[in-house]
């Protein structure tokens, strides 16, 4: 295997931690869970105000349906439901958790963290709880943070990716309104046995490209005043062409670097769980990633792009189908706003 480009050529600010120190203990995924709202939104419904129909959306994205939350549902509601299913899967009581991390870019409120609501509803009274926001890479960033904490301190943790993008989409913007769905996915982390565990993570941020994906208004730079609403600056925006170029240019080489640093060959990867951004984009990426033995898991056909939830939802679907076998290597590959790339390697 040829050596990939050195770290300094990867761009952005990044941290690679493929190897654990001697003082740290192995941490594994002990259970998974997910939750999708029961409201199914067809391509016809999603694209009606944008002037596009089912055939156009399928050709551009491979998405056929998505789920949108009901008006009374908030991100913490979806996150809590997914968390309960993950806890049941792991056989862990919420009171045993020492940390809860929620990855989301659509929190219930700017303050407090959505994780605080989840912690309370679960009854996880001993768990510290906080949010992370790396947009669609958020779950992998949150997983790396929680795994690092647990590797040092022991105990159990809960990592959740949850988003309700339907609340921030411009109904008339065909580049975005057709892509996104709502949902949540979760994993329980704890002491690893039998060679299982999170083998490593690599987190990359290209902050100079931060405005390619953003919600302009609603923060301290541009508060959500009536003028912002009138101009539509409270909506999610994305430079689709530039985002695609970023992903195709950067993700394959960052994956190759990560595998090299982890002393893992491309043919060792049994499963790829990528961010479910766009089916056409994934087809192009898979060819470039050159993972000859990897089964690529997809849920976007039915669920669309669920932001930070897409990787844990897809992981849960694969796990519950019995598709992941003990000892197999699973590569998680997130990419999204920031711009960011998050990679994690699991020994199942």
Which among 193, 223, 249 is the end of a domain?
Answer: 193
pLDDT tens-digit readout, 134-172: 999 999 999 999 999 999 999 999 999 999 999 999 999
- Confirm whether 134 is domain-assigned: yes
What domain range includes position 182? 27-193
In a domain, 91, yes or no: yes
Give residue 231's pLDDT. 73
Q: Are residues 224 and 261 in the same domain?
A: yes
Q: φ and ψ at 25, to 5 degrees? A: -105, 155
Does 305 participate in catalysis according to the annotation?
Answer: yes
Q: Based on the structure, what is the number of domains in the chain?
A: 2
* pLDDT exceeds cutoff 80 at 90: yes
Question: 179 and 226 in one domain?
Answer: no
Collect all residues with Cβ–Cβ distance below 8 Å to 281 and sequence separation of at least 6: 244, 247, 248
Average pLDDT across the chain, whole number: 92
CA separation for the pair 102, 116 (Å, rounded): 9
- Model pLDDT for residues 243-276, shown as the tens digit of each residue: 999 999 999 999 999 999 999 999 999 999 999 9
Whether residue 206 is found in the same domain as residue 236 = yes
Average pLDDT over residues 109-133: 97
Give which of 43, 336, 39 is closest to 178, Cα–Cα. 43
Domain's final residue, options 159, 193, 227: 193
Confidence grade of residue 228 (pLDDT, cut at 50, 70, 90): low
Same domain flag for 63 and 180: yes
| In a shared domain, residues 229 and 89 | no
160 within domain boundaries: yes
3-state SS of 240-264 is HHHHHHHHHHHHHHHHHHHHHHCCC
Q: Note whether 54 and 144 are same-domain residues.
A: yes
Q: What is the DSSP letter of 278?
A: -
Instruction: Say yes or no: 325 and 177 in one domain.
Output: no
pLDDT value, residue 22: 38
pLDDT at 218 over 70: yes
In a domain, 179, yes or no: yes
Tokens of 132: 């992370």
Of 166, 193, 220, the domain-final residue:
193
pLDDT band at 50 (very low <50, low <70, confident <90, very high): very high
Same domain, 204 and 325: yes
Phi/psi-derived region of residue 62, left when phi > 0, alpha when psi is between -120 and 50, beta in every other case? left
What's the pLDDT band for 216 if we cut at 50, 70, 90?
confident
Task: From the candidates 204, 271, 275, 297, give the one annotated as an active-site residue.
Answer: 275
pLDDT of amino acid 234: 85
12 inside domain:
no
- The pLDDT confidence band at residue 219, using thresholds 50, 70 and 90, is confident
Examine the pLDDT at 327 and tell me if it is beyond 90.
yes
Residues 317 and 177 in one domain: no
Please check whether residues 307 and 212 belong to one and the same domain.
yes
Whether 111 and 48 map to the same domain: the answer is yes
- Pairing verdict, β 269-274 and 295-296: parallel
Here the CATH number for the domain that contains residue 314 is 3.40.47.10
Residue 300 lies in a domain: yes
Asked if the structure places residue 333 within a domain, the reply is: yes
Structural domain contains residue 125 = yes
Per-residue pLDDT at 23: 59
pLDDT band at 49 (very low <50, low <70, confident <90, very high): very high
| pLDDT over 90, % of the chain | 85
Give catalytic status of residue 275 as yes or no.
Answer: yes
Write down the pLDDT at residue 256: 96
Q: Residue 7's pLDDT is what?
A: 39
Q: What is the pLDDT of residues 262-314, one digit of tens each?
A: 999 999 999 999 999 999 999 999 999 999 999 999 999 999 999 999 999 99
Torsion, CA 77, CA 29, CA 295, CA 285, rounded to 10: 70
Spot the catalytic one: 14, 43, 133, 136.
Answer: 136
- The verdict on 189 and 99 lying in the same domain is yes
**Is 250 one of the annotated active-site residues of the chain?**
no
């Amino acid at each position: 295997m040829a050596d990939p480009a050195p770290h300094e050529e990867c761009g952005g600010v990044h941290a690679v931690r493929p190897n654990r120190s001697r003082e740290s203990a192995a941490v594994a995924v002990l259970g998974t869970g997910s939750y999708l709202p029961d409201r199914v939104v067809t391509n016809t419904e999603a694209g009606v105000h944008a002037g596009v129909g089912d055939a156009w959306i399928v050709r551009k994205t491979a998405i056929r349906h998505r789920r949108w939350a009901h008006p009374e549902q908030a991100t913490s509601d979806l996150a809590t439901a997914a968390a309960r299913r993950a806890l049941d899967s792991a056989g862990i009581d919420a009171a045993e958790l020492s940390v809860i991390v929620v990855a989301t870019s659509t929190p219930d409120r700017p303050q407090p963290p959505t994780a605080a609501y989840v912690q309370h509803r679960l009854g996880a009274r001993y768990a510290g709880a906080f949010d992370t926001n790396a947009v669609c890479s958020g779950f992998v960033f949150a997983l790396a943070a929680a795994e690092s904490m647990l590797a040092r301190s022991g105990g159990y943790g809960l990592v959740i990716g949850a988003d309700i993008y339907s609340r921030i989409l411009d109904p008339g913007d065909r580049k975005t309104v057709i892509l996104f769905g709502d949902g949540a996915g979760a994993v329980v982390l704890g002491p690893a046995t039998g060679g299982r565990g999170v083998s490593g993570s690599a987190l990359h941020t290209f902050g100079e490209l931060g405005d390619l994906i953003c919600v302009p208004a609603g923060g301290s730079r541009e508060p959500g005043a009536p003028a912002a609403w009138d101009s539509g600056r409270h909506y999610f925006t994305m430079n689709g062409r530039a985002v695609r170029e970023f992903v195709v240019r950067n993700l394959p080489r960052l994956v190759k670097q990560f595998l090299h640093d982890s002393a893992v060959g491309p043919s060792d990867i049994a499963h790829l769980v990528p961010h479910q951004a766009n089916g056409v984009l994934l087809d192009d990426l898979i060819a470039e990633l050159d993972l000859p033995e990897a089964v690529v898991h997809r849920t976007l056909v039915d669920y669309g792009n669920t932001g930070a939830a897409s990787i844990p939802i897809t992981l849960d679907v694969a796990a519950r189908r019995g598709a992941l076998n003990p000892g197999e290597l699973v590569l998680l590959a997130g990419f999204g706003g920031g711009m960011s790339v998050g990679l994690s390697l699991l020994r199942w």
